[in-house]
Every structure is written in C-alpha cells, then in structure tokens.
Amino acid sequence: MARWCLARTVTVVSLTVTLSAVAARYPSCRLPHPLLHPFRELAYSSVPVHWFHFYPVSMLSCYNPNENVHNKAHTSPYPGSKVERSKVPTDKVGWLVEWEDYKPVEYTAASVLAGPTWADPQISAKNFSPKFNEKDGQVERRSLSNFYEVENGRPRNPSGRTGLMGRGLLGRWGPNHAADPIITRWKRDSSGNKIAHPISGKNILQFVAIKRKDCGEWAIPGGMVDPGEKISATLKREFSEEALNSLQKSRAEKEEMEKQMNRLFNQEHFVVYKGYVDDPRNTDNAWIETEAVNYHDEPGETMDNLLLEAGDDAGKVKWVDISEKLKLYANHGDFIKLVAEKWGAHWNEDPVPGCP
C-alpha cells in the first residue's frame, strides 16, 4: 500500500513539474495542446492528492502529439448535408502551422440561419457585437479549456482546423456548451446480486444510453445549456426529457418523477470531464464543449422507480452494459471508460500486466 501511495504521489508531482516547465516555455500560460488544458488548472490548484484518482491521466496518457485531435470533426459530408469538408492533413491541423492555401467552404445550416432563439445572428448582422471569451449577458462565451483566438471577428476553434468555416448546425459562434449526465448502476441477477464478467472477474456496470434520432448512434443523453442555466439544471432536464420523456407526462407524473430525480441528482457525483468535444458538428468557428457528470445509483433502487422512455431527441433508450466494445457517438466512449475506471468495473477482457 505504501509503495502504491508513493507511486501515485510521484505521478502527480511529475505532472505538476511537467506543466510548470511547459508554463515556463509558454509565458502566456497557454498550453500547446487543448487536451492538456484541464491539467494546468489541476497542477496549480490546492486540490489534495487523494482526489486525483488518476482518471484524467488516462486520457492524457493516450494522447499522441503526432495524432490528429479531430476525428469526428473531420468527417464528411457534414451532418445533415451534402457539404464536403476540406481535407486537413494531420501536420496542418494546428493554427500555428502556416497554410496559405487553406480556404475551406463556409456552411451554416438553414435551420440556424432562420434565427431560432438558441442561435446567434450572422457575424455581419447589424447590432450584433458578441463578447468572445466573456460572459456575454446570459450567453456563456467563455471556454472550459482556455482563451481562444478571434480572427476577423470570428472565434477560432482551439483544437485547430476542421476543414469547414461557419457554424454548421451549431447555434453559437465559439463554444457551444453542453451537459452529459451519465447515470449508472450495477448489473444484477434476479436475486439482486451483482454480476461479474466471466473473464475479467470485475462487476459489470450499466449506464442509460439513448439512440440519437439525427444520426442513429447510441450516446449519453444530454443537450445544450440554455442561456443563464446552471449545469446542474441542464443535466437533470436533459436526462428527464430524453430518457424519461418528461415533456409528455401529466402534471402528477412529473411531480412523482421529480421526487425520484431529486434523490438521484442531489447525491454525491463524479465530474468525469470538462472541455472540448470531438464532435462531427464542429467547425473552424463553432464547437461543442461539455461537462460530463456521473450519478451512480449504488443500490439501484432509485432507478427502479423511474421508467425509461425515449423522448425529445432520443429514438430509443435502454440500460447498456459498459465495456470497450461499445461504439458511441462523438467521444462519449472516452467518458464511459473513465466512469468504469472510477468504479473499478469491467472494461475489457485483457489481463492487467503483473496481475494473476
């Protein structure tokens, strides 16, 4: 145990030292890669070592500096259209790399240009002067990761070129803030006993997944944060609308649902991730950022009293066994992996090196 605690302490200290060196090299305190931004805040915070638990490190350790950060954000055609992105070589994703011939097509969906309440006007619109990198009235234009550049009046994607200008399907110029509630429970048999995976020997964790109507992929239920809305309220609202079909319930049903929801969402929770999301809707000027939060129903009793029913943007909803075999929307699989690690649940069938 002492050796393990020492190893963990050394890891955190090493991370802090590494980030200190990076900060010295970059006096503006801007880390060279967006995936590193959350760790800068961690390294200079007063958070006790025992809080760290290694979870964000697992994302960092998988990062290859020569690997393209954008995967889903480089797919063509753009969702819901026939628009093709310009191809962006891996070595030219970053904005610091000169690329004079980079002239991607501009696209903003007609549904966004129609001017719904959740969307900004065009940059050239009269009386529209957004305050980027600030709280702009009720609209949150600050990034969860870091300050972003603004060029010719347009915000620039902090993770680099995507091969498409404009806003696509996104309403806001710059960061579009979302919230993803990850509701979990242990898989149990008819007697209420936890079920362990036959190969890994670890208990199987389940989470509530929805099948998105727009692309048909399974995902974490979630959605965009309304102007002035707290993240906690968004998490609760999106889950009830997409996984419980609350919009179609009677007043009495909503009141009973609210009681059970409060039991679940008022308990201790685990912030899985905060920051940039590799999403197929991202463009050079608009991108998704999210806060993914895990609410775990340990005894399973709360969720037993809530009937899953797809609603709003969800075509289907169900409990899904967590494992590395899951194929989920955007980078939701990364979030689910962190949750599995948090609870020591089954993830893959590969034996751990050095363990029997």
Going from N- to C-terminal start, the domains of the chain cover 72-343
pLDDT band at 61 (very low <50, low <70, confident <90, very high): very low
What is the per-residue pLDDT for 352? Answer: 53
pLDDT band at 71 (very low <50, low <70, confident <90, very high): confident
- Top pLDDT among 121 and 49 is at 121
What is the per-residue pLDDT for 189? Answer: 94
- Burial of 178 (C-beta count, 10 Å sphere; 0-12/13-18/19+): buried
Residues 6+ apart with CB under 8 A from 240: 246, 257, 261
| For range 178-193, the mean pLDDT | 95
Highest mean pLDDT among 61-65, 86-90, 145-149: 86-90
**DSSP label of 196:** B
Q: What is the full DSSP assignment across 97-132?
A: S--TT----EEE-HHHHT--TTS---TTSTT----T
Sign of CA dihedral 262, 315, 178, 91: positive
Question: What's the CA gap between 289 and 178, in Å, rounded?
Answer: 6
Q: If one looks up domain 72-343 in CATH, what number appears? A: 3.90.79.10
Whether 171 has a pLDDT exceeding 80, the answer reads yes
Phi/psi for 253 (5° steps) reads -65, -40
**DSSP label of 140:** E
Q: What is the pLDDT of residues 229-286, one digit of tens each?
A: 999 999 999 899 888 888 888 999 888 888 888 988 998 899 999 999 999 999 999 9
Question: What's the CA gap between 336 and 334, in Å, rounded?
Answer: 5
The tokens for 205 are 């964790």
The tokens for 286 are 């608009």
Residue 83 in contact with residue 77, Cβ under 8 Å?
yes
Q: How many Cβ atoms are within 10 Å of 179's Cβ, its own excluded?
A: 25
Sign of CA dihedral 155, 159, 161, 164: negative
Whether 308 has a pLDDT exceeding 90, the answer reads no
